[in-house]
Chain A
Amino acid sequence: MDINREDIKHLADLSDFALPESEIDVLGRNLQDIIGYISQLEELDTDNIEPTYQVFEMENVWREDEIKSQDASREQLLALTKEEKDHQIKVPKVL
């Protein structure tokens, strides 16, 4: 399939990237090549084959439903943000 500039802008939007015009053409060519390559899977016969999403052999690993102390405190976590006010993380206006 062909990937055009609008497709790239749409995928960048889905991915939450600001994409400068200068990057669109190169990324477009790259994605065209990559999608061209992965499309060869079409050849493989997968009729009546169930999908595999994980290869961990154990299932339903249970734990007690109780609150445990966490590795990091609220203060330590808040200290990681760029802007903090009154124990809240500060960001630009939402609306």
Chain B
Amino acid sequence: MKIANRKVTAERLVRDALEKARHFADYNIFTFLNEEGAIKKAREIDARIAKGEKVGRLAGVPYALKDNFLSTEGQTTAAAHILEGFVSPVTATAVEKLEREGAIMIGRTNMDAFAHGSSTESSYYGPTLNAHDRERVAGGSSGGSAVAVALDIVEFATGTDTGGSIRQPASFNGVYGLKPTYGTISRYGVVAMASSTDCIGFFTKTPDDMNLLMEIANGQDPKDLTTLPDYYDESEAKKIKKIGIIKDFDNTSVDSEIRNALVSKVELARSKGYEVVEIEMPALKYALAAYYIIVPAEVASNLSRYDGVRYGFRAKDTKDLDALYKNTRGEGFMPENKRRIMVGNFVLSSGFYDAYFLKAAKARTLIVKEYEKAFEKCDVLLSPVTPNPAFKLGEKTNDPVAMYLEDAMTVPLNLAGVPGLTIPAGKTKDGVALGLQLIGPRRSDKSLIEFSKELV
């Protein structure tokens, strides 16, 4: 990242980033701009550098924070009305690690409320616009973060990926986006969506920046007992030689320009001596249905804590405690939050549990096994991120299933816990950004990042 050469001051970098953020205000990227806090921190870093003190690997690097990461700077709302006014007294482990290295948060980014969505249209604060086409969606749920990096406002941004919420907006805006192996980065202090699939990750402009951020952010955290000791298992690492292409991946047909982008990367890989094999993964077509059972079930449980009593929004003039809960939740959640909570309570309710939740958990086993088998035949999978490029604003907001279908190729990784890296893959003839994803076995994150340089 450009701070490393120290030819500019941290204050200059932060002021430039804030200036760009204001310039692009109509893209609705930020829910909060950290004007005073960021400049104060930048001055502190400049003073330390002037004194010859050692500073961190991200000293003075401006970054954008998805609004579901808790920190003491600004409200943490997860772009949801029900968290309005919540200023956290605690800081997420990931944020602590970045800031310990000197990174400076210049703003909190817009998202689908509680990360429920694939377009950043389901935000209490309105949609974020696509970086390259203002009539199209930013993707989601980490739409603001993807656009902040794509428009070069910041060097990097944080995201969360429960079913594609990093990889899909990265693809829609033409930047790198990594969903690490499940458990690589601590989830402590990040607003929970579905605890068995939630992953913390990043948006960057280069693979090297991604690797640096992973080196900084990974590791075991006593505050999140589902954290792995490292992000890369040297003992199991294989040199990538064989690339797998998934045969008949989809239950939706893939856009021809995305297919062409895939073919051209395959040809590039072949020309560099990589072997390419076709892999059959028939269970993947059930991943989306399994995902939209398992994740709403976990959502219903995780979101039961929002009751208006302890923090955030509280409905006014309620006659008793029950009405306080019901009105707060009725007014405080977006329609998509309500749909997911209700579907979750449906699939968990007596009489339906076996047919839905248990069935989906068994399907999950088949999906996990299918990836294990695939990685016996290849070292990495190369696949589309989505069936279609970024769609028009408003095109799918009234049809939840149509919106869900856009997640068909991202959700299987979350169910299996394997890492996925979105790489930029050119643009459509209309100038809409395209991306592809590299998928590897558990704890192969570093291999994916390294290998992505071969496909530029």
**Which A residues form the contact surface with B (CB < 8 A)?**
8, 11-12, 14-20, 23, 26-27, 30-31, 33-44, 46, 49-58, 61, 63, 71-73, 76-77, 79-82, 89, 91-95
Contacts and interface: CB of A to CB of B under 8 A. Distances in A.
Contacts of A50: 362, 365
Nearest to A83: B314
A12 B320 CA distance: 18
A35 B355 CA distance: 12
B374 to A, nearest CB: 16
A74 to B, nearest CB: 11
A81 B311 contact: yes
21 contacts: A14-B345, A16-B329, A17-B338, A19-B330, A33-B400, A33-B401, A34-B400, A38-B292, A40-B289, A41-B286, A44-B283, A46-B359, A50-B365, A51-B358, A52-B364, A53-B361, A54-B226, A71-B91, A72-B90, A80-B310, A89-B309
B366 interface: yes
A34 B283 contact: no
A37 B89 contact: no
B196 A58 contact: no
Contact of A77 (B226, B310, B330): B310
A71 B310 contact: no
B442 interface: yes
Given A38-B293, A49-B362, A44 B90 contact: no
B176 interface: no
Contacts of A12: 338, 342
By secondary structure, the B interface counts as: helix
A71 B286 contact: no
User: Contact size class for B?
Assistant: 35 or more
Contact of B321 (A23, A31, A92): A92
Contacts of A63: 222, 225
Contacts of B363: 41, 44, 46
B325 interface: yes
Contacts of B325: 16
Nearest to A26: B335
B321 A11 contact: no
Contacts of B169: none
Given A18-B326, A34-B292, A92-B323, 16 more contacts: A15-B300, A17-B341, A17-B342, A18-B330, A34-B343, A38-B293, A41-B286, A41-B359, A42-B359, A46-B366, A51-B365, A57-B183, A61-B225, A72-B90, A77-B89, A77-B310
Contacts of A46: 359, 362-363, 366
B45 to A, nearest CB: 24
A19 B335 CA distance: 11
Contacts of B404: 34, 37
B401 to A, nearest CB: 5
